[in-house]
Structure 1
Amino acid sequence: MDMNDLLTDIQNSQYLKGWDNSVIFITLASLVAWVVWRFIYSHLFNISEKTKFHWDDLILHALKTPISTLIWCWPATISLGLLLDDNIQSKFSWLATSKKLMLAAIFIWILIRLALNVEHYLLQDKRRDETTVQAVGKVSRLIILTIGLLSVMQTLGVSLRGLLTFGGVGGLIVGLAAKDLLSNFFGGLMIYFDRPFKVGEWIRSPDREIEGTVERIGWRMTIIRTFDKRPLYVPNSVFSNIIVENPSRMKNRRIYETIGLRYQDVDKMAIIVAQVRDMLENHEDIDAEQTLIVNFNAFGASSLDFFIYTFTETINWVRFHEVKQDVMLKVIDIIHQNGADIAFPTRTLVIEPKEAAFLEDSN
């Protein structure tokens, strides 16, 4: 080995040693910065726990992981740049671009985490409308992602003017190709804005075999849990073309029953009707401010019919049937207390006197 080769080897070893020292220093600096950040975070978290203001907790939680990631990834990018510069004699302009992209990604990540934290916090308050909170959360995350995507494209040198021009033509093509997807998306928006129903409500459609409790309203479809506990996945566009009934928003439930007395109890009809009406007016589970009707209604084939038309205070399905049962039992008691009875299908055979004499002679 000649002297020149020896000098070259010594220079390379010293150069490599300098590179190693730089990477080690950067790694140690990252570790120190991460420890300092964890200390600051723990101190701020302890302070925020003592305050009644919850938004500081949400902001801190949103910053925790992204900042830790930035502390490690940013120096790692610098170390990678040193490594490539030392071993490859060329310019790496994409490293500077990657740093900008990293900052944009971290910023978007923080905002999305903050939006999710705020949504979860608001959903814990049962007084707030769950559907509205979820809708606002989804729209805010969509806006953040859109702005972030545009920022990333601008960083990469993509002309937004050209992109918007292309989007006018491409949007038409995409719109035709994804017609159903877009109709479901805008159908979901209409559900959020018009609010014909929300999560947790019981809905049904007389046009389709759709009935159950709304579990989730997504951008593309709504999940409904039927009463036999099966999930029903309904595209949002369907709700633009059908009638939707929302029994959960009724103010009362109606009792509408027809009761028949025997024809021989005709003289007791008036008192029975009056007592049943009085019972309903004083019943604690009947809404006396709503329409209340008890009247003799019709001459049936084998009964004298009167009907009950009234509304309960409760709209709960189970409780409604309990109240209805109590009302019907009290109606039976009133009928029996007046010496009458409920009619059942009967036939009366009337025999004329001449026919009766003929039957006796034949016997």
Structure 2
Amino acid sequence: MTLAYLDRFLNSLGIAAEFRGIFWVLVILGLTALVALVLARILVAIERRLSANDNLWDDVFLHAARRPVYWYVWLHGIYWATEVGQRFYEVDHLGLNDPILRFGFIVLLVWCLLRFVGQAEELLTSDRVREPMDYTTVSAMGKLARAVIIITAALVLIQNLGYSISGVLAFGGVGGIAVGFAAKDMLANFFGGAVVYMDKPFKVGEWIKSPDASIEGVVEHIGWRITRIRTFESRPLYVPNAIFTTIGVENPSRMQNRRIYEVVGVRYGDVAVVESIVQAIRAMLESHEDIDQDRTLIVNFITFNASSLDIMIYTFTKTLQWVEYHRVKEDILLRISGIIADHGAEVAFPTRTLHLQQNTSQEPAHAGLVPAGTESGTNQGAQGEE
């Protein structure tokens, strides 16, 4: 039984065209809902089935296409319901049905592609792949892919609306000059972001700081215009990307080791044991399990300071973790303090020795005062000599 025969049968029963139109619209929408529901269940079942295999990209594609395909069925159902309604009610839809169908198809296709890009970003940076890619690189590729998809879709829509793409592109070339002058700062930030993506001086999750600007913290997000940095006070810092092309950026997250650099001074009275102290400290560091022996290790007596004999300690730890580094540094400083004490020496601190000159001549009592300039204060490191 064809639909035309069924419609003639309804007409023979005396049912008015208005009611027959409502009936057919409801039938089409009901069938659309049924087909969409069945198709959605089938796609979900296929997606579960494919998730069991080793190919991850079919899961990504199917998950990205599932919802757009569902709404594409509804788009066609509404299209045919509108066509049927127009025949029964003789309503002029101004020929918009076909353009709306094409417009809807392009929108759903763009939605599907954007979902695919988002799913691909998650997959490439996850542990499900053998070698996860850098988040910053994947994010840059994703943004570029989204821009290409949206621009291409916009040009296709313009073409479908009856406008000439060549004219639009020509206008864009002329207008681009004016936009470039009006938005030069924004363009500078855009190209600054592109430089960051290409040169990769830092990425999301790394600690950076600049000796040329008050910038220090952990990178949270790299956008096309600004980069968001979380400072160590847990405050967000928004930096325009153009700044990174004019300042130096230090990336401590990529250091190979953490350095310990200390100068320890002993008293001048301990000069006889300085060499032994230096040798003991050097031996302790060379046998320390947390010190990288492949890096520079220096322990030397370096200078006669104002109040101390200075010993320089210069070495590198194996750990890069901030908390662990301070634990290792604490252990080394305590061991150095113990070595100094074991040699009967002490750590020096700024002191002054005052020598008083005694006057032994027979003079009146009132003349026993020490003349000016007979007291001498000297900055020596020997402590307790008075």
Task: Tell me if both proteins adopt one fold, taking TM over 0.5 as the criterion.
Answer: yes
Displacement after TM superposition at 1:92 (Å): 2.7
SS of the residue 1:357 aligns to? coil
- 2:375: which partner in 1? none
Displacement after TM superposition at 1:342 (Å): 0.9
Question: What pairs with 1:13-52 in structure 2 (closer than 5 Å)?
Answer: 14-52=16-54
Cα shift readout 1:187-245 (whole Å, capped 9, x = no counterpart) = 11111111010001000111111100001111111110000101101111111111111
Displacement after TM superposition at 1:150 (Å): 1.2
User: Does structure 1 retain, via aligned residues, the 8 Å contact 2:18–2:89?
Assistant: no
SS of the residue 1:302 aligns to? coil
Q: Give TM-score, length-normalised by structure 1.
A: 0.91
Q: CA separation of 1:211/1:284 partners in 2, compared to 1, >3 Å: closer, same or farther? A: same
- 1:290: which partner in 2? 295
Displacement after TM superposition at 1:178 (Å): 1.8
Q: Which amino acid letter does the alignment assign opposite residue 281 of structure 1?
A: E
Pairs aligned (count): 353
Cα shift readout 1:124-167 (whole Å, capped 9, x = no counterpart) = 23943111111111111111111111111111111111111111
Q: CA separation of 1:157/1:347 partners in 2, compared to 1, >3 Å: closer, same or farther? A: same
Q: CA separation of 1:338/1:356 partners in 2, compared to 1, >3 Å: closer, same or farther? A: farther
- 2:257: which partner in 1? 252
Q: CA separation of 1:350/1:171 partners in 2, compared to 1, >3 Å: closer, same or farther? A: same
Cα shift readout 1:299-328 (whole Å, capped 9, x = no counterpart) = 111211111111111222222111111111
Find the aligned partners of 1:322 and 1:329 in 2 and give their Cα distance.
11
- 1:75: which partner in 2? 77
Find the aligned partners of 1:12 and 1:112 in 2 and give their Cα distance.
51
- 2:197: which partner in 1? 192
Q: Which amino acid letter does the alignment assign opposite residue 259 of structure 1?
A: V
More helix by share: 1
Cα shift readout 1:56-82 (whole Å, capped 9, x = no counterpart) = 221221112111111112211222233
SS of the residue 1:70 aligns to? helix
- 1:130: which partner in 2? 135
Q: Which amino acid letter does the alignment assign opposite residue 323 of structure 2?
A: V
5+ residue gaps, structure 1, are 1-9
Find the aligned partners of 2:188 and 2:84 in 1 and give their Cα distance.
51
Is 1:357 equivalent to 2:360 in the alignment?
A: yes
SS of the residue 2:16 aligns to? helix
- 1:214: which partner in 2? 219
SS of the residue 2:355 aligns to? coil
Displacement after TM superposition at 1:21 (Å): 3.4
Q: Which amino acid letter does the alignment assign opposite residue 84 of structure 2?
A: L
Is 1:176 equivalent to 2:178 in the alignment?
A: no
Which is further off, 100-109 or 313-322? 313-322
Is 1:263 equivalent to 2:268 in the alignment?
A: yes
Displacement after TM superposition at 1:49 (Å): 2.6
Q: Aligned Cα RMSD in Å?
A: 2.3
- 1:120: which partner in 2? 122
5+ residue gaps, structure 2, are 1-11, 370-386
Displacement after TM superposition at 1:111 (Å): 0.6
Find the aligned partners of 2:324 and 2:91 in 1 and give their Cα distance.
81
Q: CA separation of 1:12/1:138 partners in 2, compared to 1, >3 Å: closer, same or farther? A: farther
Q: CA separation of 1:239/1:358 partners in 2, compared to 1, >3 Å: closer, same or farther? A: farther
- 2:59: which partner in 1? 57
Find the aligned partners of 1:284 and 1:231 in 2 and give their Cα distance.
38
Q: CA separation of 1:127/1:320 partners in 2, compared to 1, >3 Å: closer, same or farther? A: farther
Displacement after TM superposition at 1:267 (Å): 0.7
Displacement after TM superposition at 1:35 (Å): 2.7
- 1:348: which partner in 2? 353
Question: What pairs with 1:100-179 in structure 2 (closer than 5 Å)?
Answer: 100-125=102-127, 127-179=132-184
Q: Which amino acid letter does the alignment assign opposite residue 213 of structure 1?
A: V
SS of the residue 1:256 aligns to? strand
Find the aligned partners of 1:359 and 1:210 in 2 and give their Cα distance.
73
Q: Which amino acid letter does the alignment assign opposite residue 172 of structure 1?
A: I
Q: Which amino acid letter does the alignment assign opposite residue 360 of structure 2?
A: A
- 1:338: which partner in 2? 343
